[in-house]
Amino acid sequence: MTQAESLHVQNFEGIEMIIAIDSTARGPALGGCRWKLYTSPDAARADARALAGAMTRKAALARLSLGGGKSVVAGDPRTRTREQLLAFGRFVEELGGKYITAADMGTGEQEMVVIRETTSHVAGLPMEAGGCGDPGPFTARGVLLAMRAALEHCDKTLAGARVAIQGVGSVGSEMANLLLAEGADVIVADTDRKRLEDLPGGVRVVAPEAIAHETCDIFAPSGPPNVIDERVARELNCSIVCGAANNPLVSRDVARTLQARGILFVPDYLANAGGLIHLAVALDGGDAKGTLKHLEVIPENLAAVLERAKADNADMATTADRMARELVPN
């Protein structure tokens, strides 16, 4: 599951569109469309592959009848055209249902409405358009459940816990709201000043370069991937790493460094599965109540991974990967 089963690439109006399908063994590959600028085509393709693999693991651990895929459009969402969205929809349609797209970084519900004009293989449409609505709040709620379970493992509670959130987009900002309601002390940082202006009162804002150095119970990477390298892992001053970001660790060695320092790493695709669960439940005809019930698989999975990691004397990332692989048919 480390290599994409297939990588599909098209160019339209000078931008590269990539769909990576990691596995369809459990069902069609579902994964969001990430629309952002990349430093190179290779970087965009590598991101698509890594994210698709994470989606396979996420769906498997969450016991969903879905495979793993991801799409990446290497363009600036601020200058995106309607024609580009329609072209991306046609690209998805060409795969005949093997891949289902949804919102991700740089795309949202309204973009999905336009994309649906040229493909039926899209999830997460607005409720007024007959869809299940934004899955982001369910991602945030799932991460909250993972945080609560991780804190309980460390004999702590959310009330009074200090949580440092790196990235407050739609999911990170919802996490801040939920944590405040639980009585947590919330610290946030984001490179986008506009996002900070929209945050609720009660949060403390620090500079982006300072957030990873905050003394806290939980460091919650909730923005771009690959934010925790060896240096950051050695400098973190927290008990737990648990956030909404996909692939926050630069390498598996980083997971071992965190373990050696006594920091509990909650695998990202375990913690942030709530949005995918919501989409999967909706595709099966369920509703929000069904999603909330299925979200209980997240703390159950954390307990299972903790137990297996202890038995195998392995780090959390390696253990979660092994358990996910066992759930994907060959």
190 closest CA partner among 164, 212, 167 = 167
Q: Which long-range contacts (CB under 8 A, 24 or more apart) does 154-158 make?
A: 154/217, 154/239, 154/240, 154/264, 156/217, 156/239, 158/182, 158/183, 158/184
Give the sign of the dihedral formed by CA 241, CA 247, CA 248, CA 249: positive
281, containing H or E segment: helix 274-283
Contact between 238 and 217 (Cβ < 8 Å): yes
Annotation says 70 is catalytic? yes
Residue 4, pLDDT score: 53
User: What CATH number belongs to 136-272+300-326?
Assistant: 3.40.50.720
Q: How much is the pLDDT for 2?
A: 39
Q: Do the beta carbons of residue 51 and residue 34 sit within 8 Å? A: yes
Q: By C-alpha distance, which of 105, 239, 247, 221 is closest to 166? A: 221
| Rounded Cα gap, residues 233 and 94, in angstroms | 42
* Nearby residues of 245 by Cβ (< 8 Å), 6 or more positions away: 166, 167, 221, 222, 223, 224, 225, 227, 268, 272
User: Domain 6-129 falls in which CATH fold?
Assistant: Rossmann fold (3.40.50)
Could you give the CA distance from residue 108 to residue 135 in angstroms, rounded to a whole number?
10
Q: Quickly list DSSP for 126-177.
A: -GGGTS---SHHHHHHHHHHHHHHHHHHTT--STT-EEEEE--SHHHHHHHH
Q: Which two tokens stand for residue 45?
A: 């393709």
Which of 36, 58, 70, 289 is the catalytic position? Answer: 70
Would you list the domain boundaries of the chain?
6-129, 136-272+300-326
What residues of the chain score a pLDDT lower than 70?
A: 1-4
Q: What is the DSSP letter of 65?
A: S
Instruction: Please state, in angstroms and rounded to a whole number, the distance separating the CA atoms of residues 194 and 179.
Output: 21
Fold match between domain 6-129 and domain 136-272+300-326: yes
The structure's pTM equals 0.93
Check: CB of residue 100 under 8 Å from CB of residue 30.
Answer: yes
